Structure 1
Amino acid sequence: MMKFAKLTKEQFEELSDEFAVFLAAQSIDEKEWTKIKEEQPELAEKELEVFSDFVWEKVLNKTGYLEHFSKDALNLFKCNEKDMQRIVVKVNKEGINLLDTKDFDWLLDNSKDPRIEYLKGKKEYKSERSIEIFDVVQKGGVVSDGKLFEAMHKMLSV
């Protein structure tokens, strides 16, 4: 049973060198892998699933921040060891689209506008940290450098 989700074909292609090392660690060379795919497709599928979980676990363990943008809101996450902090920036302005650079710049330039609502929260992980981070990723969150979270956090702490 997979812990996360199987990587896409494109992701596997990008990680082909890492996958080769993964297989080599199990004494499976290219010729052997081709044979397994042809003669034991269920075993090949299992190897792909194990590798996918390995990659996801590695990425998620290193993840410190996530961002999720929609037309009228930003969801910013800081993924601590025991909990996840969240800042929501909701813009109640007609015609706003934060996915558009000019509207996002408007938000940054007008952070004190009364049509902008800020919410802060924190929740402890109820399950494994990596699983909860993966859930946010599955819902559209992307790993970030945390600069926007930290800037908003600093602004809201003043």
Structure 2
Amino acid sequence: MKYARLTKEQFDELHGEFASFLATQAIDKAEWDALKINKPEVAEQELDVFSDLIWEGVLSRAEFLEHFSKNHIFLFQCFETHVQSIVLKSLVAETDFLSKEGLQWLSDNMFTENIEMKVGKKVFTEERNASIFQLIQQGAFLSDGQLFTQINTIIES
């Protein structure tokens, strides 16, 4: 398995897609039910292959990621060969970017001495999707890129 198995909730949401996937393997519902009972290891392999296919599709389309912690915000824009990053760090220890108040504080203090901002670029040393998956494993999530774009526009002006 290249990535990670989808959760039960994710499989539930992708029920139709999974049924189509099984159909491409010439496995109908009765055969799937029999596989789960008689050959659970084969059923597990099918779950893993489907999970990797879904992850591959999601990661291939991923453009923006965000990762929030108490005092840091990591914003990423993913390109074909590299990732661009903007890292915001609160220099005020009480700030909590995980709260609504912390985000309001960020808005009020964005370009003050209370916020340390760093921009960077990292060339992918492994395969692009594997690198993006690592960021997700570390807590990043896919985003629409609005925050990255807003801050990047200000930085570049």
TM category (shorter chain) comes to: over 0.9
Counterpart of 1:46 in structure 2 is 45
Matches within 5 A, 1:49-88: 49-88=48-87
- What code does the residue aligned with 2:27 have? I
Equivalent residue for 1:104?
A: 103
CA distance in 1, matches of 2:155, 2:99: 24
Structure 2: runs of 5 or more not aligned: none
Partner of 2:128: 129
TM-score computed with the length of structure 1 as normaliser: 0.97
1:6 partnered with 2:5 = yes
TM-superposed CA distance for 1:94, in Å, is: 3.1
Whole-angstrom CA distance in 2 between matches of 1:112 and 1:78 = 21
How much does 1:155 deviate?
A: 1.6
**Identity %, equivalent residues:** 46
For residues 97-146 of structure 1, the C-alpha deviation after alignment (integer angstroms, 9 at most, x for no partner) is: 01111220121122122010000100111111100000000000000000
Secondary structure of 2:45's match? Answer: helix
Given that 2:71 and 2:93 are in contact with CA atoms closer than 8 Å, whether structure 1 keeps it comes out as no
Q: C-alpha distance in 2, partners of 1:90/1:155? A: 17
Question: What residue in structure 2 maps to residue 36 of structure 1?
Answer: 35
Measure the CA separation in 2 of the matches of 1:22 and 1:70.
Answer: 37
* TM-aligned CA deviation for residue 56 of structure 1: 0.2
- Aligned CA RMSD, in angstroms, stands at 0.8
Q: Conserved in 1, the CA contact under 8 Å of 2:65 and 2:145?
A: yes
Q: Secondary structure at the match of 1:12?
A: helix
**3-state SS in 1 of match to 2:46:** helix
SS at structure 2 position matched to 1:86: strand
Q: Which runs of 4+ in 1 moved over 2 A?
A: none
Q: 1:43-80: per-residue Cα shift (whole Å, max 9, x none)?
A: 00000000000000000001000000001110000000
Aligned length: 157
2-structure distance, mates of 1:27, 1:112: 58
Which whole-Å CA distance do the structure 2 matches of 1:85 and 1:103 have between them?
A: 24
Task: Give the structure-2-normalised TM-score.
Answer: 0.97
